[in-house]
Amino acid sequence: MGMRMNTAPPDLSSPILPGSVALVGAGPGDPELLTLKALRCIQAAEVLLYDHLVGPRVFALIPDTAERIDVGKTSTRHTLPQEEICRLLCQHARAGKRVVRLKGGDPLMFGRGGEEMEALRAAGIPFVVVPGITAALGASAAFHLPLTHREYASRCVFLSGHKKARDAALDDTAKEDEDWDSLARPGQTLVFYMGIARLEHIRAALIAHGMPKETPAALIYKATLPESRLWRCTLDTLPECARVENVSPPALVIIGQVLESGKK
């Protein structure tokens, strides 16, 4: 006779317990793309630390009673260093508060959620993670761009275009920041987050490692929001397109033959 686990039913009335933290994905901006659990966490928050990528209509769902702390980061502005964010999460949880760390997209996809989980675990503070729709999936759906397709791509790679160190020189002696040989192979889709400032490097590296210059590419700005935009180009014209159109973050870069789907 098999063993049965005796587990208590979840307490649906309390998505966050006092003295704990919820790392919550706010999705790409459209509030209708929030999960039900994310919405319940937001509405139960007593202290909420939020990123600048949280959509304004999602932000409007935060209760007036919650203490709001802006901890957003951009490539040129860090409101607070990551260590201070982790300290605040622990401080408010130790004070018995229901704490929400609200992140654009998904908390574990280029959102430093891993670092925050490590800090909470080390401090002995209970936490939950609530996934959100990451920007690439929001952009794919909003503009009807499949990321995989039987005729074009059986693999999709998500990459961070932002690097702590300076770009490595593209020569035989430099240690490069990505496995460009692998990334330049056909039959896959590349999605770069936070890559607008490094388009020249991305273009040069992929072409140097064998990706054809005419490979389709796209720039997507604020997908799922009313001001969203899509620009189509090629790998070779990617940096020029961004300059001419004055594309600024937050924007995604998608590269791959899959962008040709639907044109037949």
* Pick from 56-60, 226-230, 259-263: least confident: 259-263
pLDDT band for position 167 (cuts 50, 70, 90): very low
Domain boundary pick from 79, 100, 133: 133
Domain of 45, CATH number, reads 3.40.1010.10
In this predicted structure, the answer to whether residue 165 has a pLDDT above a threshold of 90 is no
pLDDT of residue 111: 87
pLDDT band for position 233 (cuts 50, 70, 90): very high
Number of domains in the chain: 2
Same domain, 250 and 154: yes
What is the Cα–Cα distance from 243 to 188, expressed in whole angstroms? Answer: 26
SS3 (DSSP) at 83: helix
- Amino acid identity of 76? T
Domain containing residue 222? 136-260
* Pick from 12-21, 112-121, 143-152, 228-237: least confident: 12-21
Question: Residues 253, 219: contact at Cβ < 8 Å?
Answer: yes
Same domain, 216 and 168: yes
Domain boundary pick from 72, 100, 133: 133
Give the model confidence (pLDDT) of 15-64 as tens digits: 899 999 999 999 999 999 999 999 999 999 999 999 988 988 999 999 99
- Positive or negative torsion for Cα 40, 11, 87, 35: negative
CB within 8 A of 16, min separation 6: which ones?
22, 41, 44, 45, 98, 99, 100, 128
Quick check: is 64 catalytic? Answer: no
Quick check: is 51 catalytic? Answer: yes
* Pick from 79-83, 212-216, 221-225, 235-239: least confident: 79-83
Candidate list 11, 30, 37, 51, residue with the active-site label:
51
Candidate list 30, 37, 70, 73, residue with the active-site label:
73
What is the Cα–Cα distance from 103 to 193, expressed in whole angstroms? Answer: 15
SS3 (DSSP) at 201: helix
Domain boundary pick from 133, 161, 180: 133
- 9 in a domain, yes or no? no
CA atoms lying within 13 Å on the CB side of residue 87:
5
